[in-house]
Amino acid sequence: MPGIVVIGTQWGDEGKGKVIDLLADDMHMVVRFQGGNNAGHTIMLGDTTIRLHLVPSGILYPHITPVIGGGVIVNPAVLLDEMERLSSLGIDVERLRVSYNSHLIMPYHVVLDGLMEERRGGGRLGTTLRGIGPTYADKAARQGLRMQDMLDASAFFRKVKEAVEEKNQLIQGVYGADPLDPVAVAEEYAEYAQRLRPYLADTASLVRGALDEGKNVLFEGAQGFMLDMDNGTYPFVTSSNTVAGAVCAGAGVGPRDVGEIIGVTKAYVTRVGGGPFPTEQDNEIGRAMQEVGREFGTTTGRRRRCGWLDMVALKYAVRSNTLTSLALTKLDVLSQFDTVRVCVAYRYRGELIKEFPPVLDVLCRCEPVYRDFPGWRVDISGARRLEELPVEARSYLDFVQESAGVPIRLVSVGPERRQTILLDGDETRLLQGRFLFFDDLP
Ligand code: GDP
Ligand code: IMO
Ligand code: MG
C-alpha cells in the first residue's frame, strides 16, 4: 500500500498537525522525514492543547508507531522533554522510534544560529533560533554527529568534546562570544545517549516493512513548501527540503512508495520571520486575521504576518509536489470579512505574471492582482457538511478548487477534530479506498 504524504503548501503553520491527527486514526505509522524542532504542530484534544515539535502528530493514537526518520535533526533535550510531557498526559511514548541516521542538534548549533542572525542585522532571516541551519550545514559538510554515534559511549564522549572545542574557535574567534564548556556538553549528551538508546532503530527498514505488509503509512511534513531550501524563497527558507519529494531521502523510501499527497493550505496565508510575502496585509485586515486566527508562532510565540490567499503560490505548490488533494483550514477566520480576496496573478513592471517567479528580486517587486468574493459574515464553526456552509463560502471553495486544479477533500472550520467537513461526494470518504468515520471522533 503506497504511503500518504501531508505537507504544508505555504510558509508553515497551515494546520498540518490537526489534519495529520485526523488522518492518523486510519494509519499504522506516522513518520517525520525532515526539519527539527523548528516545527510546532498544535492538536486540540477536547480541552487540552498539545504542541508537538519533534514527536509525530500520530502519537495521540495508541495503535500508531511514531517514527522520526533519518532526514530529521534532533535536539535530544527537546525530544526527551517532549516525551516526558506526553507521558505526563498519559500518552505512551515507548512506541517512538528514532533513526540511527538522524543528526544531533548540539548546543553550539543553537549558539551559532543566534550569532549568525545577530550578524545579519537588519537582513536577518528571522529563524526560530533552534540551531536548524548550522546543524544541516554540518550534515552537508559531513561533520555532524548522528544518533548512531551515541552507541559507543566513550567514543561519543570524545567526539562531542572535540566538536565543542573546534566550534569554540569559531564562536570565540569569529564572533567574539563566550565559549562552551566541552566537558560539560559531553557529559550532558552522554546522559541523553543513555536515555535515548532504547528508542533508536533502523527506521527505513521499519517503514519498508509496514509498506510491504500493506499497512497505512503517513509521512508528516514540517514547515511548508515555500520554505523549501531549493524551491522556496531562498535565503528566507529553512535549511531542509520540505517538498513532498523529500519523503524519499528523509524516510528512506522510494518514489513509488508514495501514493496520495495532500497539501494543507490555510484559507489565507501567514508567515513568521523575514522574506517576501506578496499578499501580506500589514494593516487592519492583517491584524484582524491575526487576532481571530490567533496567529502566534507555536514554537517562538512570534506574531505571524497575515495576508490573503495567494493562488499563484498555491498553484506552484500543487505542481511541484504533484498534490493529489488539498486540505483547506481556518475557513472560519474569513467569516469576519465583507469581502474575501484571492490573489490570482502578480503584476511586475506593468505585466501580468501567472507563474511563481523564480527570481527573488522579481518576487519582491510583484504586486498582487486580486479577485474579490462576497463574504458570508456568519459563524461557520459549527458546520459539519458542505451544505451547511453559506453559498458565498462554497463559491469561494469552488473557485480555489477549480483554480488549483486538484480537489479539496477536507475543509477545517475550527481547531478541534470535530470542526471538519469532509468532501468528495461521499462525505465519509477522505482518502481513496480508505475510510474515516467521524462518528468515532472524540
Ligand atoms: P502546523 O504547524 O501546520 O501544524 O500548524 P500550527 O499548529 O502551528 O498552527 C495552526 C493553528 O491553527 C493551531 O493553533 C491550530 O489549533 C489552529 N487551527 C487548525 N485548523 C483550524 C481551523 O480550521 N480554524 C481555526 N480557527 N484554527 C485552526
Ligand atoms: P511548522 O512545521 C512556520 C521559518 C522561520 C524562518 C525560517 C527559517 O510549524 O509549520 P529555521 O529556524 O528553520 O532556520 O527558520 O523558517 N520556519 C517556520 N515558520 N512554521 C514552521 O514550522 C517553521 N519552521 C521554520 O520562521 O522564517
Ligand atoms: Mg506550526
* Closest residue by CA, ligand 2 atom 15: 127
Q: How far is the CA of 212 from the centre of ligand 3 (A)?
A: 32
**Structural domains of the chain, ranges and CATH numbers in brackets:** 3-58+212-429 (3.90.170.10), 103-198 (1.10.300.10)
* DSSP state at residue 255: G
Cβ atoms of 232 and 242 within 8 Å: the answer is yes
Three-state secondary structure call for residue 175: coil
The structure's pTM equals 0.95
Q: What is the pLDDT of residues 423-437, one digit of tens each?
A: 864 433 333 333 333
Cβ atoms of 48 and 164 within 8 Å: the answer is no
* Closest residue by CA, ligand 1 atom 2: 13
Cβ atoms of 239 and 251 within 8 Å: the answer is no
Distance CA(266)–CA(247), nearest Å, equals 22
For residue 421 the three cell numbers come to 467537513
Atom nearest to 413 CA in ligand 1? 23
User: Which residue type, as a one-letter code, is found at position 277?
Assistant: F
How far from the centroid of its chain's Cα atoms is residue 104's Cα?
19
Q: What is the pLDDT of residues 330-381, one digit of tens each?
A: 999 999 999 999 999 999 999 999 999 999 999 999 999 999 999 999 999 9
User: Does residue 41 have an active-site annotation?
Assistant: yes
Phi, psi of 307 (to 5 degrees): -165, 175
- Give the active site residue among 28, 41, 53, 109: 41
Lowest-confidence range among 177-191, 255-269, 284-298, 414-428? 414-428
Distance CA(214)–CA(369), nearest Å, equals 46
Q: How far is the CA of 282 from the centre of ligand 1 (A)?
A: 21
Three-state secondary structure call for residue 24: helix
Q: What is the pLDDT of residues 266-288, one digit of tens each?
A: 999 999 999 999 999 999 999 99
